[in-house]
Amino acid sequence: MLKRSVFCFIIFLTSCRFAEKEKYLISANYIGNKYIFSNLKNGTPKQYDEKGYRIYSIPESGILTTKFKETYGVINKTFFYKAKNGKLIKIKGIPFQDDKTTLDHNMIYAFYGNDMTINFPESKDAIGIQIITICKPQDFNSLNEEPFMKEISALHITAEDFTYEKLINMRAKCNINKQIK
């Protein structure tokens, strides 16, 4: 029985795919949604830290376009507020589908995993969109109903149309940017 358990465990480990480690840097005191559009030819260059983590330095606009491809497999995500002096303050990451009633309602969390992919059959391109919601647990549902993603889902455009400037303008029209003063 022990041999069989060890064998099954080894098969499980070898069949798992581990995604690259990821570090998300978010403007200090930001509350709301952050969006990462990946696999964009015109996105920001790939950046890694000294430990091999992918770095996603999300600007105050709340939108990052990047050349990184989407990650799949067992994930390792870490989230930080980045103060103006460069100091990093860790934010606990929680999968968005987890039970929020058991979380400390006075703490701010980074809810992740509410991602989507937009495929463009004509060009065979695909764009990944990560949505990270920074908030207290009781505020998640109201922030997660942002019209920006509905606007993007309804568009009939090409992968080349996903530029940083167009995304910023589209989000501004939705009037969603929220920042703690």
Q: What is the pLDDT along the chain (181 residues), one digit of tens a residue?
A: 556 554 444 444 444 556 789 999 999 989 999 999 999 988 999 999 999 999 999 998 999 999 999 877 667 899 999 998 989 999 999 998 889 999 999 999 999 988 888 888 777 788 899 999 999 999 998 887 677 877 777 777 777 778 888 888 888 877 644 443 3
Residue with tokens 């969006």: 35
Three-state DSSP at 113 gives coil
H or E stretch at 126: strand 125-135
Residue 147: phi and psi, rounded to 5, are -70, -15
